Amino acid sequence: MTLEIRPAGAEDADGIARAFLDSAEHHVPFDRDRFAIPAFDAVASRYRTGAQHPAGVTSVTLIAELDGETVGFVDARLEQSPDPMLRPITYCYIAELAVCAPFRNRGVGRELMAAAEDWGRRHGAGFASLDYHVSNERAAAFYLQTMGYRVGHVIALKRLHTR
pLDDT one-digit tens code per residue, 83-125: 999 899 999 999 999 999 999 999 999 999 999 999 999 999 9
- CB-based contacts of 124: which residues, under 8 Å, 6+ apart? 78, 90
pTM confidence score: 0.93
* Rg, Å, the chain Cα set: 16
Strand segments, DSSP code E, in the chain are: 3-7, 59-66, 69-80, 90-99, 127-130
Collect the ranges in the chain with pLDDT lower than 70.
1, 163
- Say which CATH architecture domain 3-146 belongs to: 3-Layer(aba) Sandwich (3.40)
Domain parsing of the chain, residue ranges: 3-146
Contact status, residue 71 vs residue 108, Cβ threshold 8 Å: yes
